[in-house]
Amino acid sequence: MKYKEYFSETTLNMGSSMIRELVASTKNIPDLISFAGGFPSPKTFPKQELSQIYAEVVAEEGTDVLQYGQSEGDSLLKKEFFRWEGYEDLNDDDALITVGATNGIYYFSRSLLNPGDAIFCEAPSFLGSIVAFEAVGADIRCVSLDDEGLKLDELKSGIEQLKKEGKQAKFIYTIPDFQNPAGTTMSLERRKALLQLCAAEGIVILEDNPYSKLRFSGEHLPSLYRLSKEAGLDIVMEIISFSKILGPGMRLAYAKGHKELIAKMVSWQQKVNVSPDCVTERVVTRYMQKGLLNPHIDNICEYYSPYLQSMLEALERYMPKSVTWTSPEGGIFIWLWLPEKINADEMFHKASQAKVSYIPGSKFYPKGQEKFNCLRLNFSFSSLEQIDRGIKSLAEIIRSYGV
Ligand SMILES: Cc1ncc(COP(=O)(O)O)c(C=O)c1O
């Protein structure tokens, strides 16, 4: 059978995961120091508590949770989420539980976009979302970042440009806290100004929030969702993933937003997944009822903080002056800008030979809009000693370009 001739156009246009391929290409290099992945440290997984609760749930509630479940997600779990975030005024139909944030982002895009519809997206941004937007044929317009988050003047020019083309953006996708891949956090003033602008222009905001709880220092900032609710606006959908809190294998996230949009996303879930994993939902409900979640998050932050500090110190110690980087107060990523003449895609192979890897920054831009003199470093997976050694090697490779 010639399957190639049977594949849909969308499937044929879908690229393979470049990041997965890059990571795979270095898999067999012994003693490689990898700053490439976006994996949380397995040391942060609450294995003991979860294994006990999984056993309890199946034994005591198996009749219920091994059955088909609700497409909108378990009401008991949603109640716990609302309590956790201080949103006791929210009801069941204000939120949806999804199989990870990726799944929620897909339902959101599917619910809103026709092929060719314009959206705004931070650049760089999370590749998993960019490919979901590309898969539904979005016309992606980039907005670059500075230290305070996405640049509003660029967004305004983008909106004006679209008007000239007779178009209107449906939504803007943003990761305000410890952005993947840049590590930047949007300032409070920028958040408020973004909300006002989007409200005035009728643009929905998709707030992807997997990292805000992973803050090791500084002040927690209110989410766009919270600010929008306080301002009486209903333009934000926030998705919170538990991948970096409990473990990505659990595939759990939840989305809050306007009831009408939530209902459409539930319809997509009904068709695509039937429901989230009911056992996992009830396990997390019990985990939260036992008061384990917040102390666990405190432990993760305490665990990661020295890794971030070590990487920032090593960058300061070893990098040439012509290299700059972001200094996040949490999350799991740091972003580097290299001198213009260095192409981080090409440098990747040199770095692999020197047994250090990273993700070239170009992989975090939509097709055709890439920047090449940049890269992403992950600090949550290597040991402190590896961080020092790996950054030293990387700095030597960068210096070999005569910068
Ligand atoms: C910004 C961002 N959004 C979404 C995800 C994916 O989350 P999930 O594992 O819940 O699908 C990630 C994972 O790295 C991420 O960094």
Fold topology of 64-289 = Aspartate Aminotransferase; domain 2 (3.40.640)
102 lines ligand 1 (CB under 6 A): yes
Taking only the tens place, the pLDDT of each residue in 342-359 is 999 999 999 999 999 999
pTM of the model: 0.95
Please provide the DSSP assignment of 262-314 as one string: HHHHHHHHHHHTSSS-HHHHHHHHHHHHTT-HHHHHHHHHHHHHHHHHHHHHH
Nearest CA to ligand 1 atom 7: 101
Q: Take atom 14 of ligand 1 and give the residue whose Cα is closest.
A: 38
Residue 366: asked if its preceding bond is cis (omega within 30°), the reply is no
Distance 102 CA to ligand 1 centre (A): 6
Buried/exposed code over 356-365 (b: 16+ C-beta within 10 A; e: otherwise):
bbbbbbbbbb
The residue nearest atom 16 of ligand 1, judged by CA position, is 180
pLDDT of residue 17: 66
CATH superfamily, with its number, for domain 3-45+295-399 = Aspartate Aminotransferase, domain 1 (3.90.1150.10)
Q: How far is the CA of 179 from the centre of ligand 1 (A)?
A: 11
Q: What is the pLDDT of residues 158-179, one digit of tens each?
A: 999 999 999 999 999 999 999 9
For the chain, residues classed under CATH 3.40.640.10 are 64-289
Q: Is 247 left (phi over 0), alpha (psi -120 to 50) or beta?
A: left
Q: What is the pLDDT of residues 66-111, one digit of tens each?
A: 999 999 999 999 999 999 999 999 999 999 999 999 999 999 999 9
Verify whether ligand 1 is closer than 6 Å to residue 209 (CB atom): no
Q: Is the CB of 380 under 6 A from ligand 1?
A: no
Within the chain, all domains assigned CATH 3.90.1150.10 are found at 3-45+295-399
What is the per-residue pLDDT for 18? 67
Low-confidence ranges of the chain (pLDDT < 70): 15-18
Quote the ligand 1 centre to 396 CA distance (angstroms): 32
